[in-house]
A and B are shown apart, each in its own frame.
Chain A
Amino acid sequence: MTNQELLTKIAEKFPAVAESKPAAGALPAFNLTLELPSASIAEVCAWLKTGELKFDYLASLSGVDLKDKLQVVYHLYSIELKHKLILKVNLDRLNPELSSVNSVWQAANWHEREAYDMFGVKFTGHPYPERILTAEGFEGYPLLKDFIAKPDQYD
């Protein structure tokens, strides 16, 4: 399925979903990239997986700090139909909250914990919303651009 066909199919079902425009001077995205409101993420993802587009494979879920906002980026793939899609959700930097897609793709389980650990994004409905990589008692969210590392006993 071409990117245009994908876009038409998704836009028919969810009018609020818009194609993401690259920033001024930036390269156009290599795959179809959509931006959607944070409230609709669970609904859109559930449809993408079970609907005719069959996006059954969550390849990657990343947090991104864009300084004025946080972004969560989903890289989706369909094993059967072999097409790709990128979803982006913008979040408020002060109170980043988003519903979990763990019930749609189990693979989101650790990815979401990592995004929480690194960016402080809270995923509501996650079965075990704990930090995953940083040490016990770690404070702050290290991948935020304004994170300042506290010197420890080795520094």
Chain B
Amino acid sequence: MIEQLKNSGFEEMTLNMGPQHPSTHGVLHLLLKMDGEVITEARPDIGYLHRGMEKIAEKRTWGANIALSDRWDYIASMSNNFAAVLGPEKLMSITVPKRAEYIRVIMAELNRIASHLIFFGTYGIDIGAFTPFFYAFREREKILDLYESVCGARLTYNYFRIGGVSADLPEEFIPGVKAFINYFRPKLKEYDTLLSTNPIFMDRTVGVGAITKEEAIDWALSGPNIRASGVNFDLRKDDPYSVYSEFDFNIPTGKNGDCWDRYMVRMNEMKESARIVEQALEKLEPGDIMAKVAKVIRPPAGEIYTHVEAPKGELGVYCISDGSTMPYRYKVRGPSFVNLAILQKMLKGLRIADVVAVLGSIDIVLGEVDR
């Protein structure tokens, strides 16, 4: 096709999408080679937000790295905190008090809802529906208010500590969470009528950018992206950390692995997260929120890879300690970074209008891709 066109004066076009483009959710540069409207080659160019997190981590104490972790996936900082504390805790064999464990789970699951709400809102905008954005941010605001009452911050929480959490829950927190869950449940139905089954939305997403089960595993996707392809892989069940084995919840999966499945998995996950939060609230009993930990954190020499199921997938931290107050190596395996890599394969053969639908459905945060 291209050969014929070239002879008649047409040529393959290279299109630069980004780094500044509203649908890239940050600074992502896509280099697209096009044959008319069809993409023949796609190359994501990342690194615009690279801050050298892993290098900085080697010059910060273990505790200070929790504050740094807030800046990886900055819309799900609680999950990042979770990943940042698990490694040193395990190296030092610290047992975290039960109350702190439940508080951590409540925070992480609320954060999952908040992160998926951002996905829901911005994905609507990507596809051309403006209203969901306002609905999603209205609900997310209530979660941020709850977080603010606990730790004072609305985005970079720095709430977890090695051995527990930094502050106990204020009086108004538990009734606040209960009120939020009761308020939020009916809203999910509203979202379904608003966007999920909207014919225009379905036209743009059903059957677009499908990933098979084998591909998803081969590219090591994680989180909603791999589950949408029908792989039941969730670290909360497959490699339970913290107190997740005590809760009763389902893992939503999809069938076709297309954009709509990825969207629906996230919508259903919010329901399950709400269930976990409710169960954790019930189990919450008065008690300590911090284990007895030395003032200066000095994990014994050794190494460990710990991972948590962050809203976007497997967030792993590979820490190597040499017995000093600072990590010797602190590798962050961000789910967005790994999930984004498959884009170069997915886009091949799609039309230019689908790029935004596919990219949005992977749900990346560039802070975590570039670190």
Contacts and interface: CB of A to CB of B under 8 A. Distances in A.
A106 interface: yes
B318 A60 contact: yes
Interface stretch (A4-12, A35-43, A91-99, A128-136): A128-136
B305 A26 contact: no
A135 to B, nearest CB: 7
B123 interface: no
A65 B274 CA distance: 43
B47 A59 contact: no
B238 A107 contact: no
A107 B218 contact: yes
Contacts of B342: 106
Contacts of B215: 106
A56 B218 contact: yes
Secondary structure type dominating chain A contacts: loop
A100 B328 CA distance: 26
A1 B314 CA distance: 23
A109 B91 contact: no
B287 interface: no
B242 to A, nearest CB: 16
A57 interface: yes
A114 B302 CA distance: 24
Given A27-B302, A106-B219, A64 B329 contact: yes
Contacts of A27: 91, 300-303
Contacts of B318: 60, 62, 73, 75
Nearest to A61: B333
Contacts of A25: 300-301, 323
Interface string A92-126: 00000000000001110111001000100000000
Contacts of A105: 218, 220
A59 B222 CA distance: 9
A133 B46 contact: yes
B52 A22 contact: no
A107 B338 contact: yes
A105 B331 CA distance: 20
Contacts of A22: 301-302
A110 B341 contact: yes
Contacts of A118: 54
Contact of A60 (B55, B90, B333): B333
Contact of A110 (B52, B55, B303, B337): B337
B301 A26 contact: yes
Contact of A59 (B329, B333, B345): B333
11 contacts: A25-B323, A26-B300, A27-B301, A30-B90, A59-B333, A60-B331, A65-B329, A107-B218, A110-B337, A132-B46, A132-B47
Interface of A: 22-23, 25-31, 56-60, 62, 64-65, 73, 75, 79, 82, 86, 105-107, 109-111, 114, 118, 132-135, 142-143, 147
Interface of B: 46-47, 50, 52, 54-55, 90-91, 215, 217-220, 231, 233, 238-239, 300-305, 307, 314, 316, 318, 320, 323, 329, 331, 333, 337-338, 340-342, 345, 370-371
The 6 closest A-B pairs by CB, nearest first: A27-B302, A107-B220, A26-B301, A133-B47, A60-B333, A62-B331
